[in-house]
Structures are given as C-alpha cells and as structure tokens.
Amino acid sequence: MSDQFSVVGAPIKNVQLLGHVTGSTQYVDEISFPGMLWVKAVRSPVARGKIKKIDTSKAEKLPGVVRIITAKDVPNNIHVNMAVIGIGPPDEPVLPEDEVKYKGEAICLVVAKDEDTAAKGAQLVEVEIEELPPVLDMEEALKPSAPVITKWGINAFIYGSGMDGATMPGRPGRPFFLVKRGDVEAAFKKADYVVEGSYLIPPIEHAPIEPHVCVAKPEPGQRLTIYTTTQAPYFVRDNVASILKIPPSNIRVVAPAVGGGFGGKVDPEFEMQVAVAAMCVGRPVKWRWTREEEFTISTTRPAIKIEIQDALSSSGLILGRRARLLHDSGAYTRTSPYGVIKSTVNLSGPYHIPNVYYEGYCVYTNRQPSSAMRGYGVFEVSYAVELQMERDARKLGIDSWEFRFKNAYRNGQVTATGRLIDDAYLIEVMKVAAALSGVSLPHHLLQMSSWG
C-alpha cells in the first residue's frame, strides 16, 4: 500500500506534539482579556424542587460583584442541543425559572472581578427551594405513579411525530423507539430454548484532565466571540444564537486545543450561560469549572439497562430476540434520543436474527444530564449482546465461537432495520481474532465465510 499512497498506511505524527512537550500548546485557560470578569454559579442543593425565592441582596453588596444573572436575563430561555438535526422539543432552560431538576443545576450566575469574588458572591445568594420527591431510578420513572418531570406528561422521550430526527413526520408518537422485523411471537413459539438476560451499565464520567473552560467576549453590533473547550463548535454557535435570539452569523466560536474531551465536550453545557453573562455586562467573562463541577455537573455516559430474551433452536440458531432498553437521559434531553436510536438499532449485534422486537426508551430522571461518550449507545449494547451470546451458548451446550460463527451476519442478508448487507466481514475478523489470541478453531468454522 505504501508504494501507492503517501498518507494511507503511513504513521502520522500528531502535529500538536511539539507544542505539548514545550508547554506552548494553547488551551482555552490561557485566553484572557483586559477587563475580563469571572463567573460562578449558585447551584441547586436538591435533585428536584420549586424555586420559591432568590435573594441576591447580600451578594450584590459584596465589593467586586458586578452582576447577578437569573432566568429573566435570558432572551429565549429554552433549548435542546440537537435542534440542529431536527430533535425536539427544546426542554432545557439556560437558567431555570421555577423548578430545579437535578442536584447541582445552576440557578443563577454571579459575575465578579475575579474567580474568588465570584465564588464568595455565589455563597451569599440565598435561594429558597421547596424540595419535591425526585425520580432517580429509570424503572420507577416509567411507572404511572411516578412524579412527572417533563413538560409532556411522561418521563420518556416521545419518538415519531417528527421530533426525533429519524422517523418521518406524521408517524404516531410512542414513548420508545421501536425496531421490529419478522414475526417474533412465532419465533418464540417455535423455540426449543428461551434464554433471558438483564444487563446494567453505570454512568461513567469522562474526566478529562482539562475541565470545562469558556471565555465569551462581546463584540460591537450584537456580536460575540466564544473561546471554549469544545468538540462541537457549531452546536455551540447554534445554541447560543437561539437563546440570545441573534443570527448564528453574529457568533464566532474559537475552539483551541482541547485537553481531553472523550465526548464530554460535545454538548454546549455552559457556553450559553457564559454568553448571556457576557452580553449582560458588556465585557469579556470567563468561567472555569472546578474538578468537582466536572464530576457532578458535566454530562456522563448514560446509565443503561438492557433486558434481552432470545428464542433459540436446538440446532444453535437465534430464531428471534425481544429486547427492552432503558437509557438514563438525566433531567434533560441533550443528545440522548439520538443515543437511544443508535443503541436500539444495534440490539442484534453483528448477528443475523430474522425476527426481532426492540423497544428503546429514553428515560428522564432527576440526575445530571447524560450525553455522548466514546461510541455511546453502541458500547453498552455490545457489552450486553456479547454476554447474552455467552449465556445462549452455555444453555445450548455448545462452544461460544461455534455459536457466533453460526449466527454471524452474512452478505445478502437483511439487517433488523431493513438494510441489505454487502460489507460483512465478521467471520473473517473472528478467524483473525482467534489466531491472535491463540485459539485454534475447528476445521468446519475455518471453512465458513461471510459470502456463504
């Protein structure tokens, strides 16, 4: 390959390395402007509650505090990250008006001359909150008796009806994403064995060594430059434009080197708040999250629960699969509906299962919002599917390599979502994986191919 190409097949140096080893790579934290102010948030001490009163009088008297920003300072106080790709409705306030939905949610912002003063000011703001019973468990959240924490009356995202960016407008809305193929009931009637499994994946924090940092600088003529630790500058631009009610072309987003993101810097989580603060005070403002905020406020990989039932034939084939997947979106939508679509369509794994019925729920709870992290939606499902494959093989009393080879998807078959497969290589990859891990496969498996 290397004779033909100069890039493909050749190792490439990370162009930033020289900057890294000499300490000259520029991250957002190095950006500062004359007259720049600092932001800190007053955060909710409870997972769910009604905001009764915000008393800022003591904080305002603290020398160095310039301004306190609350919900009424936000021109359009509602957004959803993925409006850009047709996912809605918007459900998240920049700053909550009357209800907090997760512990640590920012209630108001204190803008001050330096970071310490902003932090002191935030401590002086008195918030009166009437605590409400929180919903913290996904199964509980779906019960009819659960307190409803969304605006649309059920603690799950409504798929269909043109709001999920994937199904056609006019399709009926359902509180789950549905993948259906063949006749799953008939498959279970025919089955020699039924194997059930339930799998739980906890939330995971990305924990980049660089916490979230953002500087927003107002420019003449309702314009704004935002320097931020982001993996997705266009999400930042469009969300900030929508909440400030100004055209996206008025906003320039600068994304310097990112000190680790792993998906945790995909969501515009705090840029909207920094932008509102900057517009209100008319000066550059900076917000650098603490390590504690990084852990307790920034998004995590979602917690996911997956239940699988497989209908198996004694000849070792998967005749049908039923699955129910719960994905903890936390208090707001963020990118979760998209994550659920990804995971639900992946519930067959790389295997051919002719009859399937999968329900994927994007569930709302009073927890910090979850979002993207390194292949989210796919990893979690692969974990569950592969453990289920081991369980199935054990029940059948056959070797799990044999079981995987038998059920591996092949070219010419059709996936659960109706795509004709013409690029299957699973069998070939498994042969290599077996060889690399010192497993000698029996002859009849080595004879198999993705084309037969």
Q: Is 219 helix (H, G, I), strand (E, B) or coil?
A: strand
**Cβ proximity to another protein, 128 vs 292, nearer residue:** 292
Q: Is 16 in the site for another protein (CB under 8 A)?
A: yes
Q: Which of 209, 418, 436, 440 binds ligand FES (CB under 6 A)?
A: 209
**Cβ proximity to ligand FES, 260 vs 442, nearer residue:** 260
The position carrying tokens 């915000």 is 54
**Cβ proximity to another protein, 14 vs 145, nearer residue:** 14
Nearest to 139 by CA among 293, 252, 307, 23: 307
Cα angle 102, 104, 106; round to 5: 100
Q: Is 7 in the site for another protein (CB under 8 A)?
A: no
The position carrying tokens 């700053």 is 95
Minimal distance in Å, beta carbon 259 to ligand FES? 6
Q: Which of 86, 89, 247, 260 binds ligand FES (CB under 6 A)?
A: 260
Task: Report what 186 binds from another protein, ligand FES, none; CB cut-off 5-8 Å by kind.
Answer: none
The token pair that represents 121 in the structure block = 């000011």
The token pair that represents 311 in the structure block = 């209908």
Q: Is 32 in the site for another protein (CB under 8 A)?
A: yes
Neighbouring CB atoms inside 10 A of 137's CB total: 17
Task: Report what 231 binds from another protein, ligand FES, none; CB cut-off 5-8 Å by kind.
Answer: none
Task: Report what 249 binds from another protein, ligand FES, none; CB cut-off 5-8 Å by kind.
Answer: none
Q: Is 211 in the site for another protein (CB under 8 A)?
A: yes
* Interacting residues with another protein between 351 and 410 (CB under 8 A): none
Minimal distance in Å, beta carbon 36 to another protein? 10
Stretch that binds another protein, among 29-37, 93-101, 322-330, 387-395 (CB under 8 A): 29-37
Direct distance between the N- and C-terminal alpha carbons of the chain, in angstroms, rounded to an integer: 28
Cα angle 421, 302, 109; round to 5: 135
Minimal distance in Å, beta carbon 305 to another protein? 27
Task: Report what 313 binds from another protein, ligand FES, none; CB cut-off 5-8 Å by kind.
Answer: none
Give me the DSSP letters along 364-423: E-SSPPB---SSTTHHHHHHHHHHHHHHHHHHHTS-HHHHHHHHB--TT-B-TTSPBP--
Q: Is 8 in the site for ligand FES (CB under 6 A)?
A: no
The residue number with the shortest CB distance to ligand FES is 209
Burial 160-187 (b: 16+ CB within 10 A, else e): beebbebbeeeeeebbbbebebbebeeb
Q: Is 19 in the site for ligand FES (CB under 6 A)?
A: no
Minimal distance in Å, beta carbon 291 to ligand FES? 8
Q: Is 375 in the site for ligand FES (CB under 6 A)?
A: no
Neighbouring CB atoms inside 10 A of 34's CB total: 6
Nearest to 193 by CA among 408, 396, 401, 402: 396
Stretch that binds another protein, among 22-30, 71-79, 130-138, 333-341 (CB under 8 A): 22-30
Q: How many residues bind another protein (CB under 8 A)?
A: 35
Q: Is 291 in the site for another protein (CB under 8 A)?
A: yes
Q: How many residues bind ligand FES (CB under 6 A)?
A: 2
CB proximity list for 23: less than 8 A, separation 6 or greater:
none
The position carrying tokens 């907090």 is 100
Minimal distance in Å, beta carbon 208 to ligand FES? 7
- Give yes or no for a contact between 88 and 99, defined as CB atoms under 8 angstroms apart: no
Task: Report what 32 binds from ligand FES, another protein, none; CB cut-off 5-8 Å by kind.
Answer: another protein
Q: Is 247 in the site for ligand FES (CB under 6 A)?
A: no
Minimal distance in Å, beta carbon 266 to ligand FES? 17
Neighbouring CB atoms inside 10 A of 235's CB total: 21
Q: Which residues pair with 363 in a beta bridge?
A: 156, 328
CA atoms of 116 and 118, how far apart (whole Å): 5
Minimal distance in Å, beta carbon 308 to another protein? 31
**Cβ proximity to ligand FES, 262 vs 383, nearer residue:** 262
**Cβ proximity to another protein, 38 vs 361, nearer residue:** 38
- Give yes or no for a contact between 106 and 42, defined as CB atoms under 8 angstroms apart: yes
Q: How is the beta sheet containing 304-312 ordered, strand by strand?
A: 177-181, 355-364, 318-330, 304-312, 193-201
CA atoms of 155 and 388, how far apart (whole Å): 28
Q: Which of 62, 136, 257, 281 binds another protein (CB under 8 A)?
A: 257
Minimal distance in Å, beta carbon 9 to another protein? 17
* Interacting residues with another protein between 102 and 131 (CB under 8 A): 114-116
Name the residues that contact ligand FES, by CB under 6 A.
Answer: 209, 260
Name the residues that contact another protein, by CB under 8 A.
Answer: 13-14, 16-27, 29-30, 32, 114-116, 206-211, 257-262, 288, 290-291
